[in-house]
Amino acid sequence: MVAAPTPILTPTPTLVPRPLRIAAAIGWRLLVVAAALFVLGTVVAYLSPIVVPVAIALLLAALLDPLVHALVVRRVPRGVATALVVVGGLAVLGGLLTFVVMTFVSGAPQLGAQLATSVGEMTRWLTDGPLRLSPQQLGDIPQQLLAAVNANQASIATSALTTAATIGELFTEVLLMIFTLIFFLYGGSQIWTFLTKVAPRTARARVDVAGRRGLAALVSYTRATGAVAVVDAVAIGLGVGLLGVPLALPLAALVLLGAFVPIIGAVVAGGVAVLVALVSQGFVSALIVLAIVIAVMQLESHILQPLLLGRAVKLHPLAVVLAVATGLLVGGIAGALLAVPLLAVLNSGIRSLLSPLDRHVAPEDVHTSEPEDSGPADAGLDREADL
């Protein structure tokens, strides 16, 4: 008996065009990634009172760890070195902030006396200048300001009542940041070695190398940002001081602190210098200070950042601007401060994960625990040098 031949099944043509199927496959995967990022962002935003202090502690650890390592090399016990660096850093930062605040407070009466003269000059410019405003229009401005204050008395009172709670929360977050910073400086390498155990054993060496490279990029970023901040503060401080604008030293200190927020921080601090020059010495001095601030910003964006930050973290200036803008929109000042360091760490870590693991780095060499006198930042730098 001859078996019947097996019928040949021809595939039925699908009604969905192939480009549409490919677009749908890519689309639902993008939706899954977007949903995961949304959930992650929601969790981070909810835990921001914890995440932000820990992130700032990591940034400060990358900045201060070379000092701890220098003391350890000189036979100072790591615990003592950590205590000295933390106490010294807090003393310097607290002294700098106290100097800025107290100098501004002590100079406020002088600025207040000069404010009346400046207001008179601005009034004459508004009435006799190109705007040609009438005295009636200028006279309505104080009444409008008073009406706005009266209309918002409830919100002003509510803000005043919540000030104590805000100060309490800020104090708690500062304590958490200091506590975390101490442990990062003292045993950061052991903490990272413990965290790498979460990764699968086959990928653990690669994750370890990527993390250390990312940490080395963070150290390079903090050093380059510190150098840029010093240049900005010295240049603007010298310009303001040579013009005889009051509060030159606290303005320079304010620029130094603000420059750690890339692009935006130094601009805001420079705007304060322009405002002080306007109040104290008038339009001409304010225009000269504005020209100095613009020249310093051009020096920073076209020379310092490409040479220092570009070599340190290999980030395009457009990526820096977009990261700062996104961080400012999402997380305010803290987001703007942490956006570029996070981008630098992710850029270096992802590059390391995508590149083949160097053949001369054995997994057991990458994986071994660091000596007790090695911290997170110098361990990352040493690893970067080895790679």
For 240-274, what is each residue's pLDDT tens digit? 888 888 778 888 888 887 777 766 777 788 888 88
Query: What's the pLDDT at 97?
Result: 76
Query: What's the pLDDT at 151?
Result: 58
What is the average pLDDT across 117-137? 61
pLDDT per position as a tens digit, 5-49: 665 555 555 677 888 888 888 998 999 999 998 898 888 888 888
Query: What's the pLDDT at 129?
Result: 60
Query: What's the chain's average pLDDT?
Result: 75
Confidence class of residue 229 from pLDDT cuts 50, 70 and 90? confident
Q: pTM for the complete prediction?
A: 0.65
Q: What percent of the chain has pLDDT over 70?
A: 68
Q: Residue with structure tokens 């070195």?
A: 81
Gap between the Cα atoms of 276 and 258, Å rounded: 17
DSSP for residue 369: P
Query: What's the pLDDT at 31?
Result: 93
Query: What's the pLDDT at 364?
Result: 41
Query: What's the pLDDT at 32?
Result: 92
CB 218 within 8 Å of CB 55: no
Q: Is pLDDT above 60 for 84?
A: yes
Query: What's the pLDDT at 387?
Result: 37
CB 358 within 8 Å of CB 205: no
Q: Is pLDDT above 70 for 377?
A: no
Q: Element (H or E) spanning 153, and its range?
A: helix 153-196
- Highest-scoring range by mean pLDDT, 132-141, 188-197, 293-302: 188-197
Q: Is pLDDT above 80 for 137?
A: no
Query: What's the pLDDT at 384?
Result: 40
Query: What's the pLDDT at 30?
Result: 92
Query: What's the pLDDT at 141?
Result: 58
Domain ranges of the chain: 47-142+173-187+206-356+375-386
Gap between the Cα atoms of 264 and 267, Å rounded: 5
